[in-house]
Amino acid sequence: MHVIVSSAYALFMMTSYAVVNGNRIGYDDKSHHTGPTMKANETEWETKAKLLLKGELARRGVTYAQLVEKLAAIGVVDSEPNIRNKISRGKFTAVFLLQCLTAIGSDTVRL
């Protein structure tokens, strides 16, 4: 990752805050986490995304095989095992989520 900041601001960041074990970086009066804490939060979001999509599929009674057909109808070609794996891991893009929701006719979701 590349970050461009003014030299004066960079000096402020370097003299005011420290990196501790490579896991926490403090700047802008906020703590920004990397490492294990970030991974735990990421896993929680993946679980929420997975449950949201699975819930919408279940509400509409759509199987993975039917989802493959519905996605193909809107121009998204993917295999059933690949879709099943993406959803079960919860590791998919926002684009994939929107494609699935559009394909199954879901225009409103509750978070």
pLDDT tens per residue, range 13-55: 444 445 555 555 555 555 555 555 667 788 999 999 999 999 9
What the block records as the tokens of 24 is: 């926490």
One domain for residues 29 and 52: no
111 in any annotated domain: no
pLDDT of residue 11: 44
Distance CA 46, CA 26 (A): 26
Q: How many residues does the chain have?
A: 111
pLDDT of residue 3: 41
Distance CA 18, CA 60 (A): 51
Flag whether pLDDT at 82 surpasses 50. Answer: yes
77 in any annotated domain: yes
Domain that holds residue 13: 7-34
One domain for residues 27 and 50: no
Flag whether pLDDT at 69 surpasses 80. Answer: yes
82 in any annotated domain: yes
One domain for residues 66 and 24: no
One domain for residues 48 and 29: no
What the block records as the tokens of 101 is: 């929701």
Its sign, for the CA torsion 58, 106, 43, 84, is positive
71 in any annotated domain: yes
One domain for residues 53 and 95: yes
One domain for residues 67 and 24: no
CA distances from 49 to 6, 32, 46, 83, 95 (A): 37, 23, 5, 14, 12
